[in-house]
Amino acid sequence: MPRPFRTARNMGVAAMLALTPLTAAAQEPSGFAGAYLAARSADTNADFEALVQYGTRALVEMPENATIMEGLLVAYIGLGQIDSAVPLARRLLDLSPRNELGKIVLLGDAMAREDWEEVRSTMNAGFSVGGLMDPLILAWSAIGEGRMSRALEIFDQLEADEVARQVSAFEKAQALAYVGDFESAAEILSGEQFDLTLNRAGVMAYVQILSQLGRNDEALELIEERLPDTGDEEIVDLRARLEDGETIPFTAVRSPLDGLSMLFYNVAEVLSNDASPSLVMIYARIAEHLNPDNIGATLLTASVFERIGNLDLAVKTYDQVGADSRAHVQAMLGKAAALRRLDRVEEGIETLADLADANPDVAPVQVALGDAYRYEERWEEATAAYDRAIALYDTEVSAQWAVYFARGITNERGGDWPAAEADFRKALELEPDQPSVLNYLGYSYVEKRENLDEALAMIERAVEQRPNQGFIVDSLGWVYYRLGRYEEAVPQMEKAVSLMPVDPVVNDHLGDVYWAVGREREAEFQWSRALSFINDDSDLEEVKPDRIRRKLEVGLDQVLIEEGGEPIHRQENAAAN
């Protein structure tokens, strides 16, 4: 996902934010979101519901324990219950007046109540949310008080700073659009004044602004440039409405609360890959508290829960997105993925099946359903889902290679090799150097002992791109083996085993290669290792334990004869046993 501002990655906005008390203290035991229970809960598979239950009991026994209070505050925020956190935050600040976690909870409450005087007094009393957020919070508060001129003064002051300029410009554009000055907002977002990189929400806001100005063609060009080949249902719908000539209403910021919500969401997104998950969660939950319709914040919160391993809460958070939301599809896809990680596979498939029934014309949903069936080796159902997805494609784009590749796998596993081969070929037509497809098709040819020269060329191209991917290196060694180039196969298979040391297939292959060059004891050792690595997750179509045991009993040559083949003719100078 593109970053909201180019400076966040290249010019250090995230780093600057990290210098403030808000984020710096997140790394310290006594700082913001950094107390013992908070760190233990929010960063390591937090069970916030249990934490509220048991933490509340603990607080009865130790009513002045600030650590327990901080942990409870993080749990309440994690559950999206900021209103419940407010009384506790007041208690915490009575005990520890400088506690930043308590202050940010009360700040979020004051903003939600649109008590702009309290917001100003909190900020002017020395509390810092972090870096650029402080003046921007004051700017949106000024707008809430009807003092747009003061807000513009703040934005203009920030523009004097090279780093702050980029962030402020985006916020200023949203503020101008909110008061109806779409021309000025569009001029800022065009990048003519400042070089901006917009995230998805920023692109959507800019599209709405252009449409308000009657510039739907430019809005469509913007979508094509910034969000190409997207399967996002909301983007697809927006594109269709623009093409129909509809004037899209400006809904990105409908109030100062929306502006503040987007501010907290954008910062959370900027920090999501680098900062403590608890910090990202707190910002995202405040964004939701300020604007419950900020679906981006809801989805970001759910992704944080996935990241910290609280998959049950991730599922519940995805369920917050109603069926009437254009982000419902994205949320249900996330929910299904979380359910799969919870080993609630059938629930995940049911979620996707219901979604596909409700959205029969949305290709990514059909693809996700196909993937879910494929993971469970339900080849026929997976193929049918991929068929439906591919039938929905009006035009070909390179990104579709993955769907043809997936259908090729299900066709191959389902026993329809001609259809599989056609799908693999189509995937390569769309993405000619895709290493996974080159490897899969090349390896399939090797196993079928067909087109071995072409298979070798394909696998060599794959290895050039992924020289340290064990299963691809294994394929190269195996095609050398099939071609009778045994000495060349040895270093490739040895490298494959070094990359995938406990993979039974690769170890079995190395055993065969060793046998072919006369290193029989080493071959037997590798076959024994292969047997020891077979488990319930092993693909018994690829690694056959009975065949390996037979090789250990009588050797590979005899097994080949028993299978109706020819024994290996070793080279004269093969290494002695």
Tens digit of each residue's pLDDT (9 = 90 or more) over 330-373? 999 999 999 999 999 999 999 999 999 999 999 999 999 999 99
520 is in which domain, residue-wise? Answer: 433-577
pLDDT in tens, 73-82: 999 999 999 9
Is residue 18 one of the residues assigned to a domain?
no
Is residue 69 one of the residues assigned to a domain?
no
Cβ count near 513 (within 10 Å): 27
Domain count along the chain: 1
38 contacts 101 by C-beta, under 8 angstroms: yes
End-to-end CA distance of the chain: 56
Is residue 547 one of the residues assigned to a domain?
yes
> What pLDDT, on the 0 to 100 scale, is given for residue 41?
41
- Give the pair of three-digit tokens for residue 541: 């179509």
Is the pTM above the cut of 0.95?
A: no
Which amino acid, 376? E
> What pLDDT, on the 0 to 100 scale, is given for residue 7?
25
Sign of CA dihedral 136, 138, 140, 146: negative
* Residue-by-residue DSSP string for 440-505: HHHHHHHHHT-SHHHHHHHHHHHHHH-TT-HHHHHHHHHHHHHTT-HHHHHHHHHHHHHHSTT-HH
Looking up residue 569, the CATH number of its domain turns out to be 1.25.40.10
422 contacts 429 by C-beta, under 8 angstroms: no
Longest Cα–Cα distance in the chain:
92
Is residue 87 one of the residues assigned to a domain?
no
HSE, CB side, 13 Å, CA atoms: give it for residue 573: 1
Positions of the chain with pLDDT under 70: 1-46, 229-231, 569-577
Cβ count near 105 (within 10 Å): 27
HSE, CB side, 13 Å, CA atoms: give it for residue 228: 8
> What pLDDT, on the 0 to 100 scale, is given for residue 266?
87
> What pLDDT, on the 0 to 100 scale, is given for residue 46?
67
Q: Which residues contact 275 (CB under 8 A, 6 or more apart)?
A: 14, 18, 23, 26
> What pLDDT, on the 0 to 100 scale, is given for residue 575?
43
> What pLDDT, on the 0 to 100 scale, is given for residue 542?
83
Is residue 561 one of the residues assigned to a domain?
yes
> What pLDDT, on the 0 to 100 scale, is given for residue 231?
63
| Cβ-count burial 277-312 (b if 16+ within 10 Å, e if not) | bbbbbbbbbbbbbbbeebbbbbbbbbbbbbebbbbb
Q: How many residues does the chain have?
A: 577
HSE, CB side, 13 Å, CA atoms: give it for residue 256: 22
- Give the pair of three-digit tokens for residue 143: 């707008």
d(CA 341, CA 308): 13
Sign of CA dihedral 532, 535, 540, 546: positive
**Three-state SS letters, 410-458:** HHHHCCCHHHHHHHHHHHHHHCCCCHHHHHHHHHHHHHHCCCHHHHHHH
- Give the pair of three-digit tokens for residue 281: 């969660």
- Give the pair of three-digit tokens for residue 342: 């919870």
> What pLDDT, on the 0 to 100 scale, is given for residue 24?
32
424 contacts 408 by C-beta, under 8 angstroms: yes
Radius of gyration in angstroms for the set of CA atoms belonging to the chain, rounded to a whole number: 29
Is residue 560 one of the residues assigned to a domain?
yes
pLDDT in tens, 188-222: 999 887 778 788 888 999 999 999 999 999 999 99
> What pLDDT, on the 0 to 100 scale, is given for residue 18?
29
Cβ count near 65 (within 10 Å): 16
Residue among 492, 467, 457 nearest 477 (CA)? 492
Is residue 559 one of the residues assigned to a domain?
yes
Is residue 450 one of the residues assigned to a domain?
yes
201 contacts 252 by C-beta, under 8 angstroms: yes
